[in-house]
Amino acid sequence: MVEAGAELLLKIYMHPQPVIIGCTGHAVAAGALLLLTGDYRIGISGDFKIGLNETSIGLSLPTFGLELARDRLDGRYLNRATMGAELYPPTKAAEVGYLDEAVREGDFQAALAAKAMELRALDRDAYALIKQRLRGAREALIRDGLQAEMDAR
């Protein structure tokens, strides 16, 4: 299950087209990891929690989770968000790096549509190449770490 989950997350993280993720509520553990794979993440402001709670429930994050966090979260929050299992409301999650923006519920669909139109205007081939160049080394690191962790079990 860990391997299948990691593969799914990597497929999204490395998908050559822009990936927009909409978050309408809580995103904890695997939900937070999913957010980290998107190219642009929009959440609804509200009384929701977003974050990686594994340490608080006696689990450790696998290499793929740590590397996604290292790539997408603001370094000032990385230790608190991973080792400290800190959870954040959507507005703070945008500052930390789980989201790119948090909007009012009534503005959510319009924000998604506007971002989709913006990203649609970009050159597809250039976007895919830049994404590969930005994320390819981390993908290799994640795959190597995943294999080592699976071999150690």
Domains and CATH numbers, the chain: 2-147 (3.90.226.10)
Q: Please report, in tens digits, the pLDDT of each residue of the chain (153 residues total).
A: 788 999 999 999 999 999 999 999 999 999 999 999 999 999 999 999 999 999 999 999 999 999 999 999 999 999 999 999 999 999 999 999 999 999 999 999 999 999 999 999 999 999 999 999 999 999 999 999 888 888 887
Nearest partner of 2 among 51, 68, 64, 56, judged by Cα = 64
Task: Give the DSSP H or E segment for 11.
Answer: helix 2-14
Task: Compute CA distances 109 → 101, 104, 116, whole Å.
Answer: 13, 10, 11
